[in-house]
């Protein structure tokens, strides 16, 4: 059942959990969902996680906007998830691949200034030279607004949430141009009482 | 800088976030850390995540115990993370590879009964036949105490937390016997108000 090839759609997705460390977690999550325009992505939520799928730029736009709106409450909020593209068998939701390229939440996200820390790891699948691919394609030095540091099993980014998501998006995008199936795990945290920023 | 080979140590690790959706999140996390014996693993925590490293059985034992003790408070608690083994360059903490095999928290974990839902994905790295490896090595049907279902980009497990971690551990273990570098992402959630169990 080997099928590493991908269709023409290049549908991207993100499976994530948005976790406010607060008694008001339900209100915070519902409030974020209320503020964010998810009309151009496929979305499914259950008690463990939320999955969004569609064009890559919309998947990043919605994920970033949900985190921003939740963190903007001032509560300690974390989001952990996995971005995917080219996953063998991922062929549904083609309806969401049509339509505009402009991310729907860009304007409102721009208005929210929020510092955060993030750890991420990129996994190009099905390639023996996957380590080379990572080193060749990712140039985090051009992201002057994020502080980059090494962490176990991950790269750490510190800075404004929008600069962090921009670095994540560009890293993921540059690797998926070379490799069919790519996954990227991330955990982003804001307003932690143990964070000095 | 290609180096897919691994040393003799086969050190395993898990980078995770433990997230109680409660105003008492600091007490719950500190309480869990207080209850769990982490003396046979390397451990580092910062504001984004915690990393534990050592023998595979101890990494799973400690991760499971931390989640169990946090969930045992009755609060809605989630844990999201990535298990890794054979990661090129992961050579430190060899001191933790000596010593006993018996997981230190097995006895106390056995006493906690807790239902949860979990989504996980296995990523064998550096192999063109990675999908075959996943299908060949994972036999979740033998885990009669967990309910298995398909989810986008992941497999869902429902049942007792210890049965879930046993299935995670055995799946990870069977793939890492065939593939040098393996990562496995997971998100486990307990006491969610939107979960009927
Ligand atoms: Ca080859």
CATH number at residue B22: 3.30.70.930
Pairing of strands B115-124, B77-85: unpaired
Pairs from B5-9 (Cβ < 8 Å, separation ≥ 24): B5/B88, B5/B180, B6/B86, B6/B88, B6/B180, B6/B181, B7/B91, B9/B91, B9/B94, B9/B97
Domain that holds residue A151: 12-87+106-190
Enumerate the residues of chain A whose CB falls inside 8 A of the CB of residue B154.
15
DSSP state of B88: T
Alpha helices in chain B (DSSP H): 25-35, 56-71, 106-110, 130-137, 161-176
CB contacts under 8 A, A 125-154 vs B, are 125-132, 135, 151-154
Q: What is the mean pLDDT of chain B?
A: 88
pLDDT attached to residue B4 = 42
Percent share of chain B, pLDDT over 90: 69
Summarize the confidence of residues B131-146 as an average pLDDT.
Answer: 81
Given a cut of 90, is residue B140 above it in pLDDT?
Answer: no
Output the pTM of the full model. 0.90
**Domain contains B117:** yes
Distance between CA atoms of residues A127 and A133, nearest Å: 9
- How many domains does chain A contain in total? 1
Distance between CA atoms of residues B39 and B26, nearest Å: 21
pLDDT attached to residue A7 = 43
Which has more pLDDT, A77 or B127?
Answer: A77
| ipTM of the complex in this document | 0.87
Summarize the confidence of residues B172-192 as an average pLDDT.
Answer: 94
CA distance B101 to chain A (A): 24
Summarize the confidence of residues A76-91 as an average pLDDT.
Answer: 88
Closest CA to A182 of A119, A140, A138, A118: A138
CB contacts under 8 A, A 157-176 vs B, are none
Q: What is the mean pLDDT of chain A?
A: 88
**Domain contains B121:** yes
**Domain contains A113:** yes
**Domain contains A17:** yes
- Stated as kind and residue range, the H or E segment containing B54 is strand B50-54
Given a cut of 60, is residue B3 above it in pLDDT?
Answer: no
**Domain contains B106:** no
Given a cut of 80, is residue B123 above it in pLDDT?
Answer: yes
pLDDT attached to residue B185 = 96
Maximum Cα–Cα distance for chain A, whole Å?
A: 49
**Domain contains A3:** no
A25 closest CB neighbour out of B21, B119, B187:
B21
Given a cut of 60, is residue A116 above it in pLDDT?
Answer: yes
What does the pLDDT look like over A134-166, one tens digit per residue? 777 778 878 888 999 988 889 999 999 999 999
Check CB contact of A87 with chain B, cutoff 8 Å: yes
Distance between CA atoms of residues A64 and A44, nearest Å: 17
pLDDT-derived band at B93 (thresholds 50, 70, 90) equals low
**Domain contains B36:** yes
**Domain contains A5:** no
User: Picking from A90-104, A106-120, B109-123, which range would have the lowest pLDDT averaged per residue?
Assistant: A90-104
What does the pLDDT look like over A9-37, one tens digit per residue? 589 999 999 999 999 999 999 999 999 99
Which has more pLDDT, B89 or B58?
Answer: B58
């Amino acid at each position: 059942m080997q099928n590493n090839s991908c269709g023409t759609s290049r549908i991207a997705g993100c499976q994530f959990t948005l976790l406010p460390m607060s008694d008001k977690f339900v209100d915070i999550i519902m409030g974020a969902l209320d503020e964010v325009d998810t009309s151009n992505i496929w979305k499914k939520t259950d008690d463990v996680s939320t999955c969004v799928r569609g064009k890559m730029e919309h998947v990043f736009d919605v994920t970033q906007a949900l985190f921003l709106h939740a963190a903007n409450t001032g509560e300690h909020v974390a989001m952990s998830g996995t971005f995917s593209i080219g996953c063998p068998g991922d062929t549904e939701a083609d309806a969401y691949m049509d339509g505009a390229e402009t991310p729907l939440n860009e304007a409102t996200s721009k208005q929210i200034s929020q510092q955060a820390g993030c750890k991420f790891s990129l996994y190009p699948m099905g390639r023996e030279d996957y380590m080379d691919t990572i080193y060749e394609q990712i140039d985090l030095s051009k992201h002057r607004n994020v502080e980059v540091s090494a962490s176990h099993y991950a790269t750490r980014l510190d800075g404004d949430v929008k600069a962090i998501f921009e670095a994540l998006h560009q890293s993921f995008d540059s690797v998926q141009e070379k490799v069919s199936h790519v996954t990227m795990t991330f955990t982003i945290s804001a307003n932690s009482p143990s964070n000095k920023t």
